[in-house]
Structure formats: structure tokens, C-alpha cells
């Protein structure tokens, strides 16, 4: 029943998904903040709720525009469930804003599969990555995704190799000039400290360990058959799927080196994993199997708040 519902893209689906975002937001705030201050935190963090709902529609636009999945809302459902797995992901201001901005970069990167306004797309994607890096330094890693997309989509002109640098440095130079004008260059230096951590002890608590294990298992059982199917697809989709796989790898790298490991860093994985799992689910012929996976994710979602 649930699988059949999200196997469509009707307006009612987006209404339900928006409600789910609201529900996850309420649970996240109530879980992270306690006492009489919960209501005040909800009001002050309300912008994150609005932005989270906006993200669902931006995601849908990117997915539909670039044919990343079939005509369903599985990817959007998984994205929301991921937020439920790691509730702090929508309450960490810098990481949340960085990921929101990166969505506009991904929109341009995946659209490089067409030959329309190639140079503009390359500049725009690098520009957005540059802005995201000002909020979360390690966002610059997605420049590699852009260059790989340029290579895979066969846009290897010498100008196209130089444009990403110009696009990336432009917002950074503007921000540097602003800080120079107000005599606050220490803030600029602080941004580019490149702090990192490879200590994962926080992940051994059950509230992290349970969803992480589920994600690892799902990635293992879904990526190989889905990739095998993509190799037999049209050349455009085959190239796009290669970008998605690289995207997952780069997002995982950011998670592994994140200086603070409180669950918010997993937000970088939400977009590519939601695409992966949606493709896996939509290709399954057994209806009960789809239902079982969605119910399993729902159970894990609630279990995170019980441990």
C-alpha cells in the first residue's frame, strides 16, 4: 500500500511528504532540545522547517529534469527518512545551508548531459560550490564531481577545464573583499582551517549505529544490481549513473573526515543515496519486497528515538 502510494507523483504525494517533513522536524527539535524551551526553539528554527520543505520540491525538480529516477516519489521519501535517522542534520545551520546551496550546483552538474549552455552550467555549478564552501569548507570536494562530470559527459574543452576555477573563486574573492573592507580577515582565515577528524566513537551509540548499519546493508545490496541495469541502459543514463556513484563516494569521504561527528555530516549522503535506493526499489518486481523495505526504514526511524 505504501509502496504503491509513493510510486506516483500526484499532488497528494507532495502534500503527504510536506507533512512528513513537518513531523520529522517536530520530532527532531523535541529530541535535541528539552524543557520549556522546546517551543521557542521550534519558532527560532522555523526557517529550517520552511527550507526543508523547499528542498523536497528542489529535489523533485532536479530528479525530474535529469531523469534520475522513474516517475515516482521514492527518492523524496527516502530523503525525509534519512533526516529522521539523523535529526541534527536539519538543525546544524552551516551544514544545512551548505547542502541547500549544493543542490543548485548538483542541478547544473547533472544537466551537463545535454549540450545546452555548457559553459554557463559549469560556471554556475562551481559558483554554488564556492558559496557552499564558505559555510562548510569541505564542500569544495564537489569540484571533483564537476570535473568528473565534464569528463564523463565529454565536455573536455580547455576552456571548460578552466571555468570551474573561475566560478569557484568568484564568490570567495567577493567575500574576501568584504571582510577586507570591514577589517575582519581573521574570519576568512578561520574558514579555511580544514579541520578534520577520523575518530568515530560517536557512531557506536545505538542511535547512530542502527541507521548506519541499515544504510551500509542497503548500499551493498542495491548498488551492484542497480549499476548492472544502468550499464544496459541508454548512453545518457549510463553516464548519469556513473556521476551518481562518484557522488556517493565523495559524500562518504566528507562524512568520514568531518571534524564534528554528530550526525549532521550525513546530510551530504542524503541526495545520492536517495537516488540509489529509489532506483533499486522501482526496479523490484516483487511488491511485498518494496513494502518490506519501506516498513523497515520506518521502523528504524522510530527506533532511533527509543534508544
Instruction: Please answer whether residues 95 and 251 qualify as being in contact, where contact means their C-beta atoms are separated by less than 8 angstroms.
Output: no
- Cα dihedral 147, 148, 153, 154 sign: positive
For the whole model, what pTM was predicted? Answer: 0.93
Res 155: pLDDT? 82
What whole-number distance in Å separates Cα of residue 294 and Cα of residue 307?
20
List the chain pLDDT tens, one digit each, 307 residues.
Answer: 777 788 777 888 889 999 998 888 888 777 776 555 666 666 666 777 888 889 999 999 999 999 898 888 999 999 999 998 998 888 788 999 999 999 999 999 999 988 788 999 999 999 999 999 999 999 999 999 999 999 998 887 888 899 999 999 999 999 999 999 988 888 888 889 889 999 999 899 888 999 999 999 999 999 988 888 887 766 667 888 999 999 999 999 999 999 999 899 999 999 999 999 999 998 888 888 888 999 999 888 888 777 6
Amino acid at each position: 500500500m505504501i509502496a504503491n502510494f509513493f510510486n506516483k507523483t500526484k499532488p497528494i504525494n507532495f502534500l503527504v511528504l510536506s507533512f512528513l517533513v513537518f513531523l520529522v522536524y517536530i520530532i527532531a527539535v523535541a529530541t535535541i532540545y528539552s524543557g520549556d524551551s522546546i517551543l521557542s526553539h521550534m519558532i527560532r528554527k522555523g526557517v529550517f522547517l520552511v527550507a526543508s520543505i523547499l528542498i523536497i520540491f528542489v529535489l523533485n525538480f532536479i530528479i525530474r529534469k535529469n531523469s534520475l529516477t522513474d516517475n515516482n516519489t521514492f527518492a523524496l521519501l527516502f530523503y525525509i527518512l534519512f533526516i529522521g535517522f539523523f535529526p541534527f542534520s536539519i538543525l546544524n545551520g552551516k551544514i544545512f545551508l551548505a547542502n541547500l546551496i549544493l543542490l543548485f550546483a548538483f542541478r547544473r552538474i547533472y544537466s551537463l548531459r545535454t549540450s545546452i549552455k555548457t559553459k554557463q552550467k559549469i560556471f554556475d555549478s562551481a559558483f554554488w560550490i564556492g558559496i557552499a564552501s564558505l559555510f562548510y569548507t569541505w564542500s569544495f570536494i564537489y569540484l571533483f564531481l564537476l570535473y568528473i562530470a565534464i569528463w564523463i559527459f565529454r565536455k573536455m574543452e580547455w576552456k571548460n577545464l578552466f571555468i570551474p576555477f573561475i566560478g569557484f573563486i568568484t564568490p570567495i574573492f567577493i567575500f574576501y573583499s568584504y571582510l577586507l573592507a570591514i577589517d575582519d580577515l581573521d574570519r576568512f582565515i578561520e574558514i579555511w582551517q580544514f579541520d578534520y577528524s577520523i575518530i568515530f566513537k560517536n557512531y557506536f551509540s545505538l542511535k547512530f549505529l542502527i541507521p548506519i548499519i541499515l544504510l551500509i546493508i542497503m548500499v551493498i545490496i542495491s548498488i551492484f544490481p542497480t549499476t548492472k541495469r544502468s550499464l544496459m541502459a541508454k548512453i545518457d543514463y549510463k553516464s548519469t549513473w556513473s556521476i551518481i556513484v562518484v557522488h556517493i563516494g565523495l559524500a562518504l569521504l566528507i562524512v568520514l573526515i568531518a571534524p564534528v561527528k554528530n550526525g549532521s555530516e550525513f546530510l551530504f549522503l542524503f541526495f545520492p543515496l536517495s537516488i540509489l535506493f529509489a532506483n533499486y526499489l522501482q526496479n523490484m518486481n516483487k511488491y511485498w519486497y518494496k513494502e518490506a523495505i519501506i516498513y523497515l526504514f520506518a521502523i528504524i526511524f522510530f527506533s532511533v528515538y527509543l534508544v
